[in-house]
Chains A and B, each alone.
Chain A
Amino acid sequence: MRGMFRFLFSRLISTLIVVLGVSTLVFSLIHLVPGDPVEVMLGESAQAADRDALRAALGLDKALHVQYAQYLKGLAHLDLGQSMHSRRPVAELLAERIPATVALSLAALAIALLIALPLGVVAAVRRDTIWDFSASGFALLGVSIPNFWMGPLLILGFSLGLGWFPVSGRDAPGSLVLPALTLGTSMAAILSRMIRSTLLDVLGEDFIRTARAKGLSRFQVVVGHGLRNALLPVITLVGLQLGTLLGGAVITETVFSWPGVGLLTIEAIQGRDYPIVQASVLLISLTYVLVNTMTDLIYAWVDPRVRLGPDS
């Protein structure tokens, strides 16, 4: 139990450092705007009074360390500032978009697992056969076809061609299918290779030989002993791949005009609405950090070797 607490403590400390670092980097983004961000946002013809008002609203008229302190204080109160254009609180705008991104990510994750698990298992069990080679061909294609091309191809085939699904948006029934498929297949490509190699490692262990030797069926050995023990590393891999998923969601949402946080980010970049850009980048990154920390903790809770480490 002491080992668990020590692990928890050190893991939480490093997560805190990362969260603080990510927030600082996001804070500094607006200071990277070439020239005067206020002028970039309002245009050159703006009145001096309007500029000063905006500068004050953004807090850019204060010293850097005061700005930073205010920014952190705002974050602690979930105050993410105001949209430049609609004047609405950024937190509110984000909250409206979160359900769409969560729905898309979960659907994509489900599709990725549905494809990657059977593919990875078959490739490992039937190693170096036509099955394995086909699976690795699929994986190679999957990582070589970017979302922003896969999406239009699916629209061309299934929306414009067959008319099965809507081209874009979220209102029509079935509108989730194509974006989720776009995002899910690219993740499935990477995951299937990882599942294959993890399962191959496990299938080489002594207890698998024992299970075979005592006369268990092939299915029992692979699923009951092999897959069961390969599942934990696979969970970690899924957690790490979530980064690819969330990053890919930004582009996929743009392709399909899917009204999520990613599309909001891109719209904000095009409209030079920097408070929204900062807040959404922060939200997506912190989600990723928290999910990974949780994955780590679950792993450590289930597998004592992680929290105790090789040396204790």
Chain B
Amino acid sequence: MKVWLPAGVLLLWALLALFGPWLPLSPDQIDLQRILAAPGDTAWLGADDLGRPVWDRLVIGARTSFLVAVWVVILSAGIGAFLGTLAAYLGGWWDLLTVRVIDIFLAFPGILLAIALAGILGPGVDNVIVALSVVGWVGYARLARAQVLSLKHRDHVQAAVALGAGRGRIVVRHLLPLAAAPLIVEATFGIAGTVISEAGLSFLGLGVQPPAASWGSMIRDGTRYMLVAPHLVLAPGIALMLVVLSVNLLGDRLRDRLDVRAEHG
């Protein structure tokens, strides 16, 4: 498949997310005349159980998922890469400690820890970002550590050490550029994972609070009216799937381009 199709989907997602608040939308406009209206005349994607236009709410939901994805990936990749690099570079007990902590975090299956954290911290977008970052940094830390471990005995690093380069310079100039490719690929797939996780937490009622919209909370609210108004579940689900599918497709392309060997498959 051509790259422009998924790239176009993601561009649209980002543009709607960034400029949504300035578009002429009325996502909170309750209209009793068009409760559960089917897609068509009154609203092109239909209206929900309060008569609010589905398209307008989709755009606001795009903003939620985009902002959460960007923040979580920046925070978790930043923290993870830093701690992983530090562990591999310093070695010794610091490395041992980091590896143990990583093992402990990896012992929580899938999204479970994020669910528990978000549940304990209370609902809200901020807490979703915190919960997903606390869970997310581990993967980047493990990857960065493995990369730096395999790189730090390379000749060019040894040469830099012999020339008297400081630790910071070695890490930033000689290690990170070579370790970056797999981290970038991981971060790309991380966007897809975060979008799904944010929607999942919102589906469980742990994310954005009404009247704000998230694709996950839209799906949850829609399931109650599935028989009479299936578009309430279909529209946010299709939006979610298109974004995740596009990120995954681009991630595959990027992985081939940067020649990063996949762990599996």
Interface residues of A (CB under 8 A from B): 14, 17-18, 21-22, 25-26, 29-30, 32-34, 139-141, 143-149, 152-153, 155-156, 160, 190, 193-194, 196-198, 237, 242-248, 250-251, 254-255, 265-266, 269-270, 274, 277, 281, 284-285, 288-289
A251 touches B244 (CB 8 A): no
| B110 contacts across to A, CB distance below 8 A | 243-248
Within the complex, which residue of A34, A149, A190, A265 is in contact with B237, where a contact is CB–CB below 8 Å?
Answer: A149
B121 touches A34 (CB 8 A): yes
B100 within 8 Å of A by Cβ? yes
B4 within 8 Å of A by Cβ? no
B204 touches A149 (CB 8 A): no
A148 touches B226 (CB 8 A): no
B32 within 8 Å of A by Cβ? no
Name the distance in Å between A209's Cβ and chain B's nearest Cβ: 23
Complex-state Cα separation, A241 to B219, whole angstroms: 26
| A30 contacts across to B, CB distance below 8 A | 120
| A237 contacts across to B, CB distance below 8 A | 264
B78 within 8 Å of A by Cβ? no
A246 touches B112 (CB 8 A): yes
User: Contact string, B248-265, partner A, CB cutoff 8 A, digits 1/0?
Assistant: 110000000000001011
| B210 contacts across to A, CB distance below 8 A | none
| A146 contacts across to B, CB distance below 8 A | 196, 199-200, 240, 244
B216 touches A29 (CB 8 A): no
Given contacts A14-B103, A33-B120, 5 further A-B contacts (CB under 8 A): A152-B222, A194-B264, A197-B265, A243-B108, A245-B109
A193 touches B115 (CB 8 A): no
The chain B residue sitting closest to A237, CB to CB, is B264
A269 touches B206 (CB 8 A): yes
Per DSSP, chain A at the interface is helix
User: Contact string, B46-75, partner A, CB cutoff 8 A, digits 1/0?
Assistant: 000000000000000000000000000000
B79 within 8 Å of A by Cβ? no
B120 touches A277 (CB 8 A): yes
| A156 contacts across to B, CB distance below 8 A | 226, 230, 233
B11 within 8 Å of A by Cβ? no
Complex-state Cα separation, A19 to B127, whole angstroms: 26
B223 touches A152 (CB 8 A): yes
Complex-state Cα separation, A287 to B228, whole angstroms: 41
The chain B residue sitting closest to A19, CB to CB, is B107
Which of A152, A190, A270: most chain B CB closer than 10 A? A152
20 contacts between A and B (CB under 8 A): A17-B104, A21-B101, A29-B117, A33-B121, A149-B240, A153-B233, A153-B237, A155-B226, A156-B230, A160-B227, A242-B109, A243-B109, A245-B110, A246-B112, A248-B111, A255-B223, A277-B120, A281-B113, A285-B109, A288-B109
A250 touches B115 (CB 8 A): yes
Name the distance in Å between B131's Cβ and chain A's nearest Cβ: 10
Name the distance in Å between A25's Cβ and chain B's nearest Cβ: 7
Name the distance in Å between B202's Cβ and chain A's nearest Cβ: 9
Name the distance in Å between A297's Cβ and chain B's nearest Cβ: 16
Per DSSP, chain B at the interface is helix
| B107 contacts across to A, CB distance below 8 A | 18, 21-22, 285, 288-289
Contact-residue size bin, chain B (C-beta under 8 Å from the other chain): 35 or more
The chain A residue sitting closest to B264, CB to CB, is A194
Complex-state Cα separation, A194 to B111, whole angstroms: 21
Name the distance in Å between A266's Cβ and chain B's nearest Cβ: 6
Given A32-B121, A194-B265, the answer on whether A148 and B219 have CB atoms closer than 8 Å is yes
| B119 contacts across to A, CB distance below 8 A | 266, 269, 277
Complex-state Cα separation, A250 to B264, whole angstroms: 26
Which of B206, B227, B240, B264: most chain A CB closer than 10 A? B264
Complex-state Cα separation, A221 to B196, whole angstroms: 40
Given A18-B107, A246-B109, A285-B108, the answer on whether A144 and B101 have CB atoms closer than 8 Å is no
| A139 contacts across to B, CB distance below 8 A | 265
B237 touches A18 (CB 8 A): no
B245 within 8 Å of A by Cβ? yes
A247 touches B104 (CB 8 A): no
Complex-state Cα separation, A242 to B237, whole angstroms: 25
Given A149-B241, A194-B264, A270-B205, the answer on whether A284 and B109 have CB atoms closer than 8 Å is yes
The chain B residue sitting closest to A274, CB to CB, is B120
Name the distance in Å between A161's Cβ and chain B's nearest Cβ: 9
User: Contact string, B141-162, partner A, CB cutoff 8 A, digits 1/0?
Assistant: 0000000000000000000000
B241 touches A145 (CB 8 A): yes
B122 within 8 Å of A by Cβ? yes
The chain B residue sitting closest to A22, CB to CB, is B107
Name the distance in Å between B204's Cβ and chain A's nearest Cβ: 6
A32 touches B241 (CB 8 A): no
B264 touches A197 (CB 8 A): yes
| B245 contacts across to A, CB distance below 8 A | 140-141, 144
Complex-state Cα separation, A32 to B121, whole angstroms: 7
CB-CB nearest 5 A-B residue pairs: A247-B110, A193-B265, A243-B109, A269-B119, A21-B104
B203 within 8 Å of A by Cβ? yes
Name the distance in Å between B207's Cβ and chain A's nearest Cβ: 12
Within the complex, which residue of A26, A144, A254, A289 is in contact with B192, where a contact is CB–CB below 8 Å?
Answer: A144
| A145 contacts across to B, CB distance below 8 A | 241
Name the distance in Å between A225's Cβ and chain B's nearest Cβ: 21
